[in-house]
Chain A
Amino acid sequence: GENVEQHPSTLSVQEGDSAVIKCTYSDSASNYFPWYKQELGKGPQLIIDIRSNVGEKKDQRIAVTLNKTAKHFSLHITETQPEDSAVYFCAASAGGKSTFGDGTTLTVKP
């Protein structure tokens, strides 16, 4: 089955700095790579996604890159704000079934 590794497990940045979270996956059948933000006591919320036919996608301060050959993908958040503080999960999906990374706790210090 699919195996997703996510790094780092915790990340602390100063407000305004950039944050980068990296994931690797093992199953070449995975073709959809979503990123989720989860706040305390709530379900995960999709913040950005990328499909296997695209190498990079950007949405305002958030961008995701995908390297299919190396089987890794990354989340980039620029100009971080305190409200970006949350747990972020990457996932690799095939046929709608997702395998999640272990999560990264991002803390943005004001």
Chain B
Amino acid sequence: GAVVSQHPSWVICKSGTSVKIECRSLDFQATTMFWYRQFPKQSLMLMATSNEGSKATYEQGVEKDKFLINHASLTLSTLTVTSAHPEDSSFYICSAPRLGGYGSYEQYFGPGTRLTVT
């Protein structure tokens, strides 16, 4: 089956610094990837859609200057949390869709990155 990896799996950083999270599709190409954020005991909330070769599309309320997304290739998208603050501490999960049967996309999730900002 399709595999999506994320790196790092966890990271602790100091307030005011920036952190980069990588999302890779290992055995298929993905022109689009999605970034989600999940706070404790809550559901996954879509932050942005990463598009290879063009700008990311951000959901309402997500600061594009704070969460920089770069879709460098057909297998790699990166999310950079700039000037991180404690309230940015969360579980960040990426996903990559792959076209399945009957024209519907199956979505494959990475294992997630737990960010803790101190």
Spell out A's residues near B (CB within 8 Å).
31-32, 34, 36, 41-46, 49, 51-53, 89, 91, 93, 95-103
Contact = CB atoms under 8 A, between A and B. Distances in A.
A89 B107 CA distance: 14
A44 B91 CA distance: 11
A101 B42 CA distance: 10
Contacts of A96: 32, 34, 97, 105, 107
B74 to A, nearest CB: 14
Nearest to B32: A96
A91 B43 CA distance: 10
- A34, A36, A49, A98 — which one has the most chain B CB atoms within 10 A of its CB? A98
19 contacts: A32-B100, A32-B106, A32-B107, A43-B6, A43-B91, A43-B109, A43-B111, A49-B106, A89-B44, A93-B107, A96-B32, A96-B105, A97-B97, A98-B34, A98-B46, A99-B46, A100-B43, A100-B44, A103-B43
Given A53-B102, A96-B34, A96-B97, A46 B44 contact: no
Contact of B43 (A46, A51, A89, A93): A89
Given A32-B106, A49-B106, A97-B97, 9 more contacts: A32-B107, A43-B91, A43-B109, A51-B101, A51-B104, A53-B102, A97-B46, A98-B107, A102-B43
B114 A41 contact: yes
Contacts, number: 66
B49 interface: yes
- B42, B43, B110 — which one has the most chain A CB atoms within 10 A of its CB? B43
Nearest to B2: A46
B11 to A, nearest CB: 14
B81 interface: no
B58 interface: no
Interface string B39-63: 0001111100100000000000000
A39 B107 CA distance: 18
B30 to A, nearest CB: 9
B49 A101 contact: no
